[in-house]
A and B are shown apart, each in its own frame.
Chain A
């Protein structure tokens, strides 16, 4: 089943789209000229590609992902192999990012650490969305007293400071590994996505087609799963890229203060932490993972920006 979200919005652009599809200079009367068929994703892609910053950010993002995935496999160095004779070596031809205070190759460690950081980032974002979608859609769909209660609870939880909460959760787990990090990061940051989904569901459920679906006997789970949630997909895709930087930064912060992935395994925050003690002698050890984090976050923000414009047909320009 192909779900095509926000097709609703394409109605509004229909006229403009056809005009654009026929292209400038092609007279409306040119008989037989096929009208190019277009759909939301093609349109969105066209608008996204027009945004130079978003394209650049997207390319860098993909390159970083590919580097993290592929480099550890082809790298001649073991990311955890200690070589004290090479410690704190500056960037060179054999070690483009230098080595750290244990003599490990920074380039390989950055790739391995990136896997962990980005992996945790995506997993936690996914968890945030799942919790947010479940909570927000139930709250918005049922409405009334339940909605009120659920939202007041959310308001209360909103007051919790995010990082201390994550620290407490990690302390309760006792040890940090990939999955406990995901839980710790997700547990205190799904509130915003729950609100987004609730708002969407509330506005969508007043649509005529929801009433029409109910008039032919559709049950609540069908109405919610088939008619409401697919229509929120566009917003959710943007939300992923808006949440991602915060989560990656959160992971880096937790690792930096020593609550994250335990050594010798690498993550960007933890690498930066290791570089902290030698930053006068070997500043590159701290700089490399920090730049990596900053790059990724910057890219995610630009991508979110580009997607928002691309998926919202109202910002379309011909």
Chain B
């Protein structure tokens, strides 16, 4: 049985303007020790999915209206808040996008790490401190012992993200959710943080969900990829399969928007952008949500009137489209990016 099994998760925001279907029927599972990448553009529901798993969505206005999140045999959506609090940090940990604001500026790094340890384990201050130094060394923060009593403003963005990772790892969680862990960092730092995350995942035998809008990041870090669009899963496949044979026009377009610097059949000329904008998630039409931007859709299609189902086009490869690449007439494969 998978460590985390999300089935038909629906998280809606009840706002004055109407019900926003931020997450509208997402299903996926994460096996122990595996990494799932969730990709999609801003506002497609990636972060809300993560926060729904953690039970951290802002209520009100948001509410999980349907589906289940089964973690290690228990449905998190039905757990009382007290049990969830014990679970957070201990079993599931999360790191956030912006390390500059995710640490409390009034507490030392050491305090923030040890407090998490002491929240979940009954250990002495000294023992927690020792563990904190080990963690800081593990996330490769130089002069760990001395840095422990420093305040966060002494740290750069990359170092702070390492501290966040140390805090997340402090209780050996079974699942780590990384919500755009590298978005706020510069490219060189991004790579080192991603490497670190990958190493730590192996060492701690954690499962990981990595949320990003950067195809490059998931290509490097994930075993399996879920592409989200407008609150729904549009394509899900193992990483190589997805990059080599993207089926959904949206995934193709995402890959087409990536710059390539090497490889066979390298694309030349301008990068292609996806025309249009994602649909409003208040009362979305009962059609394929990508149809208005889809180069293959036309008005006579069923996808203009009905929502296509998520179907298995090849073993392990799910797609929600009436025009997947392999079924298109005169199918011309979208230029895959070497993973």
Contacts and interface: CB of A to CB of B under 8 A. Distances in A.
A131 to B, nearest CB: 23
A42 to B, nearest CB: 13
B12 to A, nearest CB: 18
Contacts of A144: 60
Interface residues of A, number: 31
A272 B238 CA distance: 86
A217 B103 contact: no
B106 A212 contact: no
B87 interface: yes
A231 B106 contact: yes
B204 interface: no
Nearest to B111: A1
Nearest to A9: B105
A117 B108 CA distance: 39
B149 to A, nearest CB: 9
A144 B60 CA distance: 9
A226 B112 CA distance: 10
Contact of B93 (A1, A3, A216): A216
Contact of A11 (B89, B90, B153): B153
Contacts of B111: 1
A214 interface: yes
B293 interface: no
Contact of A212 (B85, B96, B108): B96
Contacts of B96: 208, 211-212, 215
Contact of A10 (B93, B105, B108): B105
Contacts of B94: 212, 215-216
A213 B151 CA distance: 16
Given A11-B153, A208-B96, A226-B115, A217 B102 contact: no
Contacts of B60: 144
Nearest to B104: A209
B88 A217 contact: yes
A11 B105 contact: yes
Given A1-B111, A7-B151, A144-B60, A215 B93 contact: yes
Given A7-B153, A211-B56, A216 B104 contact: no
Contacts of A216: 88-89, 93-94, 116, 119, 167-168, 170-171
B291 to A, nearest CB: 35
Q: Number of contact residues on B: which range applies?
A: 35 or more
A109 B103 CA distance: 53
A226 B89 contact: no
B50 to A, nearest CB: 10
A218 B93 CA distance: 12
Interface string A128-168: 00000000000000001000000000000000000000000
A222 B86 CA distance: 14
A23 interface: no
A213 to B, nearest CB: 7
Given A4-B151, A207-B101, A226-B104, A214 B56 contact: yes
Interface string B75-102: 0000000000111111001101010111
B104 A217 contact: no
A8 interface: yes
Contact of A217 (B89, B105, B108, B153): B89
Interface in A182-227: 207-209, 211-219, 222, 226-227
B164 interface: yes
B339 interface: no
Interface in B56-87: 56, 60, 85-87
Given A215-B54, A216-B119, A218-B119, A208 B89 contact: no
B107 interface: yes
A231 B151 CA distance: 14
Q: Most chain-A Cβ atoms within 10 A of its Cβ — which of B56, B94, B102, B115? A: B102
Contacts of B100: 11
Q: Most chain-B Cβ atoms within 10 A of its Cβ — which of A7, A10, A215, A230? A: A215
B120 interface: yes
A10 B153 CA distance: 7
Given A209-B104, A215-B96, A216-B94, 13 more contacts: A7-B106, A9-B105, A11-B105, A208-B101, A208-B102, A209-B103, A211-B102, A212-B103, A212-B167, A216-B170, A216-B171, A217-B85, A231-B104
24 contacts: A2-B108, A3-B106, A3-B107, A8-B105, A8-B106, A208-B96, A208-B102, A212-B96, A212-B164, A215-B54, A215-B56, A215-B93, A215-B96, A216-B89, A216-B93, A216-B119, A216-B167, A216-B168, A216-B171, A217-B120, A218-B89, A222-B115, A226-B115, A231-B104
Query: A-B pairs with the 9 shortest C-beta distances?
Result: A216-B89, A217-B89, A8-B105, A7-B105, A208-B101, A217-B88, A215-B94, A212-B102, A209-B104
